[in-house]
Amino acid sequence: MAVKRDYGSFAKASRRMLAPLVSPYGYEHTGQGFFARRKNSWVEGFGLQQTQYGDGSFCINMGIDVPSLDARWLRPDTALRGLLIHFRLSERGADQGDCWLPSDNKEELNQSLVRLASWLPLVEPWFAQLTTMSDVAQFYRSRTNLVELGQNPLHLQLQAANYGFLLAEAGEDASAKQWLEEAERLMSLPVYYASGWAHRLHEKVKGARLQKPTPDEVRQLKAVRTSLCGLANAQGETI
């Protein structure tokens, strides 16, 4: 059973205590409990996630964020952002499973944060494999379930769009156009709900109700089409 804890106090204390421990590695607090360092057109960073079960323990979510995708997604400035490519950090290094550290009191929290900081050098080989935006795009795709163009299911529409956006950021316009068209295709599919069906339908059956897109879904489709228009204009095309 989840137990309510004072996350605000945890976040404030951890930020204050963690800052001097991670600054030698180039990480600075950038807001909302996130510590990051800039690399080319993306940032490398991490945040802490406290358990909901009341014992005060936390884990470390780490990875990269690509700030330029906020503009491509037409996100409002107040929107919360997450890591585009992420993993849990542990004493085994990057992407080797998570590790929950105790923080039931100030002394325990400090010891856990010192331990966290000691793991940061283990992450360098993971970050070192990403040197260009093309690397980021291909690594992102490798961590999704995207398949061949025209064969992706509806639930991968955001992944298809992200991949297309990253390709556009990398200057790979032809491939970006193909994947953004894939995202547009998926986002434009009608969605029906019908009693007795366990999944969403794209073709009307007896008793099915057409679902109205949510405001987020409308914005997402507009974002994809805006980038497609930008690619077409750059290539002198008309759409």
For 93-151, the pLDDT digits (tens) are 888 888 999 988 889 999 999 999 999 999 999 999 999 999 999 999 999 999 999 99
pLDDT at 43: 96
In DSSP terms, 43 is beta-bridged to 38, 65
Query: What pLDDT, on the 0 to 100 scale, is given for residue 3?
Result: 39
- Interhelix angle for 157-169 vs 215-234, to 10°? 30
Q: Which residues neighbour 206 within 8 Å (Cβ) at sequence distance 6 or greater? A: 194
The answer for residues whose C-beta is within 8 angstroms of residue 83's C-beta and 6 or more apart is 45, 47, 61, 62, 63, 64, 65
Asked if 171 contacts 135 with a C-beta cutoff of 8 angstroms, the reply is: no
Q: Are 235 and 173 in contact (CB under 8 A)?
A: yes
Q: Of all helices (H) and strands (E), which one includes residue 30?
A: strand 28-31
Distance (Å, whole) CA 29 – CA 18: 9
Helix spans in 76-132 (H): 106-119, 124-128
Q: How far is CA 20 from CA 17, 94, 154, 209, in A?
A: 7, 22, 45, 56
Measured distance CA(179)–CA(159) in Å, rounded:
10
Which strand (E) or helix (H) includes residue 142? helix 133-142
**What is residue 9's predicted lDDT score, i.e. its pLDDT?**
76
pLDDT < 50 stretches in the chain:
1-4, 239
Query: Do residues 81 and 70 make contact, with C-beta atoms less than 8 angstroms apart?
Result: yes
| pTM (whole model) above 0.85 | yes
